Chains A and B, each alone.
Chain A
Amino acid sequence: RRNEINVTKYSTTPPDSDPTGRRQVHSMLKLYYGMNEEGKVESLDPCDINGPHFDPEVYLNKLRKECSLGELMDHESCTVKQIRSLDSDMQTLVYENYNKFISATDTIRKMKNDFKKMEDEMDCLSANMAAITEFSAHISGTLQDQHAQITKLSGVHTLLRKLQFLFELPARLNKCLELQAYAQAVSAHRRARCVLQQYSHMPSFRGIQDDCHVIMEQLAQQLRQKFRDGGSSAKDLSECVELLLQLDEPAEELCDKFLSHAQSRLEADLQGLEAELIDSLVTDTGGGLVQKTNPGSNPVSPSSSSTTNPFLSPTAGTDILEFIDRGCNEFVSNLCLVIASYQELFINHPQEGELASKKIPEMANGKLHVFVDTLAARYFSLVERRIQEEKGVGDNSLLVRALDRFHRRLQAISKLLPGSAVPSQGTEIVVRAARERIKQYLSALQTFYHDSLTDVRQALAAPRLSVGGASASGGGATSKDATPSLPELLTSLSNFILNQLKSVLASVHLFTAKDITFSNKPYFKGEFCSQGVREGLVVSFIKFICQSSRQYCESAGDRGGSTPPALLLLLSRLCLDYETSTISYILTLTDEQFLVQHHTPVTPVTALCAEAREAAQKLLNHYVKVQGLIISQMLRKSVETRDWVNTIEPRNVRAVMKRVVEDTTSIDVQVGLLYEEGVRKAHSSDSSKRTFSVYSSSRQQIRYAPSYTPSAPMDTSLLSNIHKLFSERIDIFSPVEFNKVSVLTGIIKISLKTFLECVRLRTFGRYGLQQIQVDCHYLQMYLWRFVSDENLVHFLLDEIVGSAAHRCLDPSPMEQSVIEVICERG
């Protein structure tokens, strides 16, 4: 009907205004939907006959201007046609609307009649309703009494049910007890407890209460028993504890019990560990030894027979990783479990009502800390003992992995127990172990160094014997094939030490590997690298080498050269090599591997180099001294044991002089193997042929002649003193330079000076003097080539012959030519 009305309303509007009205509706809709722009464009054209801004004048003018007459005519006819059709449309619409209007009027009239009828019916209804209300009031009045009775009865019923619960409670509790449904029992008791308490003055209730008490006591007893037995699982236990707490059991006691119970289990773990520790100790001592490295071909490999080799890994019953594993899996994880369940029970458990006021968490926490600390301390002591047994330094990775695991597992405790000191103590242990490890490595390196030296010594012992025999045919070079030569020994020793050091560094480096949990602790980032590895290991080892080298000089000197001279020479070269390159190489290597971020002062490379150089110098000096003394000893004996007064006319150079030259030659070869030639002063063209004898040289004739003529006793030593005034003082046992010539010069100086001193203690006959002349000439022929300044040899030999002449009872020197003939023949 409403539609109809709408239609009529539209239909009432004049038809010519219809397009505009519809357009308005349209435009409003468009406006609503946001599409108004299109309409605007459309509407702007005044010539659009359907547009809103249509201007007939403009349109007409436009047509007139633009169109031809024919077109205008067509247009006109078209327009007329359109107007006509529009007119007819409009008429139809007017008719339709009229009809609708009439039918609407009819309908309204009909409605008026219907409403009147309905009004009567409504009046009747209201009368009926009033009657119903009256009846209902009546009924409820009659039912009132019965209702109150029923309510009372239902209340009694509830109470009776409660009472029944109470009366049945002891039985029920008993049943629960039988069925071990403790939780049910406790909750039941809890419900009844207050009531029983309230009505305990009534005998019947009192009886129930007492019964309950007895039963609950029994129950608590059972719970405690269960708690104590400890066979139950953690879950059971926790349930147990919870129930006991609800039964007003003192929390402190429970904590203690719980902990002591846990302790007994953890103790068992610890005892297992301890037993293993003792086992491994027993097996360790009896265990076989496995050699880790076997550089068989190397001449200075540590002797395989050596049982003290620290690079052997002990094949113990269990290795440390297994041990720590066991410790972690059994003890630490159990401890964690205990901590977790304990915390669950006593600390994190939400406490309700009266329990909350007892401050259980604080108390429990305190107990837990003490508990954990004591047990952890024991555990740590075991672990430390085990770590201390880890003496073999062969494979470090096992230890590091074990420590890592140890450390990692302790982190769990730190998560569980935030305030605990245990993890930091664990870190302490790891740090201590690392420190200890470094010390062990150092001592292992030292032992290794000693062993290597012993091997070198043994290797040297063989060629030294053959040098003695073969020196006549060209010194030590001939024995090269049979045994390793000095340079080979040196390089192999040096390489061997370096490799060992490198492998130790690699082992130690494991401590700082990225995947190791404790490697990012401040100790391992800083102090371990700088103080531990660099200072404690590398620098100490280098210092040790220098120091042990120096000891060779000090101890061996008095006890008659227990150190073979070749070893001294070799060590000296080793130290020198260390000074020039090896030390800085090792330290650079160390610094690279262990990026030192610590700012503590470290030993500078230069200080170490200086120390190494000092050691090298000392060794070389000592070498010169030892070799010099060996030759001196020969010369001394040869001078002291001979009767120089009654000797026969010299026909030969004495064998000892030949021996001296031979030995010097072999020393020359030996030193030449390790040290550079060095600088010497230019030789005069006829060095070996120099007419050395004091008696044939005109200048020296002046010098010595007066001493044989009694007329001028005062001039005896004058010229020789003048000569000495202008020549430099010769230091006999003076430091030498690091080259062959300097070493040989030192040795020859010592030998000739000894010769001189010995000659001065003797008295000579004529032939004794001549023998000395021959000997000195022979030495002159061969020794000049070894020294830096041949004048030195000349000077000392002059002195010897001069002194012999002084000490001669009948000084008549031998002819120079004869001396030369004898020397060349010998």
Chain B
Amino acid sequence: MASISAAAKASSAAFVHKNELAAAATTQRQRRASASASGRRARSVRVRAVATPSRAPRAPASTGSVKSAMTTTEKILARASEHASLEPGENVWVNVDVLMTHDVCGPGTIGIFKREFGEDAKVWDREKVVIIPDHYIFTSDERANRNVDILRDFCAEQSIKYFYDIKDLSNFKANPDYKGVCHVALAQEGHCRPGEVLLGTDSHTCNAGAFGQFATGIGNTDAGFVMGTGKALLKVPPTIRFVLDGEMPPYLLAKDLILQIIGEISVSGATYKSMEFVGSTVESLNMEERMTLCNMVIEAGGKNGVVPADETTFKYLEGKTSVEYEPVYSDAQARFVSDYRFDVSKLEPVVAKPHSPDNRALARECKDVKVDRVYIGSCTGGKTEDFFAAAKLFFASGKKVKVPTFLVPATQKVIVAEKIY
């Protein structure tokens, strides 16, 4: 009986659902049968139109199927350029969150900025330009010191908020503002944040990708343009994904991992591409080790490196920055130009032999090579983690160096950390 009334209702509606059609067909006979039995004339079911039932309207974004899948790099650039989605190869104007320059390229960048925007021009945002003298400092070279003076004058004139100045050349500890190597200083001072765009006049700016942001190096002219406008024209790079799984053996450092990768793909293997590092091993690395991975992306020709932000990242940033940030992550369906997988538990320490970063060899293959000098330092190798590893070896091997050994901690904070240790 219920189905008869349903069919009757359906027949008077504008359309009939196909399920109801079947029901209507079978009950038609029943109704005629019962109608003739009861004497009532049955209304015939006339199908006027068939259509799918209307659905409540759904916003495309909520279904997830209309938005195209993107990698982390594509998402960061899409948001920074105010596009809903981007594909590799597209050229877009990107809003820059942080511009970093140092004493080598800063004066040239400032010269171009003033020449193009005017002597009285102001930088686009005095809190987003970070100026870090770090390359040729604590020296008697007049031109090098003049270059730091140029930076100082500019920062004073522009009221640049973040200028890590050096005034006392005779004693580096007497400089309260001085931080150290620019890339490590940027991280320690909280200028690297997930989801943001950071450009720097230095090839190792890609170091900051460890924080899940887009970070890459540019020249003076591009930087001069950013200084005036806060924007840069960038081409969206495709992403190569590196999946590193397995437990990290105690004799390996992040440097071994990235040298392994560069040896695999060559010094131009990642040219114009992004390198994304994922996997259980990457998740187990601390921020310094993640920075080492991303730092050497440029040695493979890469445009930028990315490590997805996670609890390790958020914990590191606690207390370092008060700027709000929003991390982004590669979609499950994102397309990568190629995939490399490594079982880290099976890797050995590697070295790069002269004269190229991709001239990879196993360390044990080089055990008969006589070493003349050792240098532990720079943005890649001068972090706390590197000195801890060196110290362990030093204590284990009799507390004596056999060749001249130069230790150059990247920043003041690294030196302090060593004192605690």
Same assembly: no
| Chain A positions near chain B (C-beta within 8 angstroms) | none
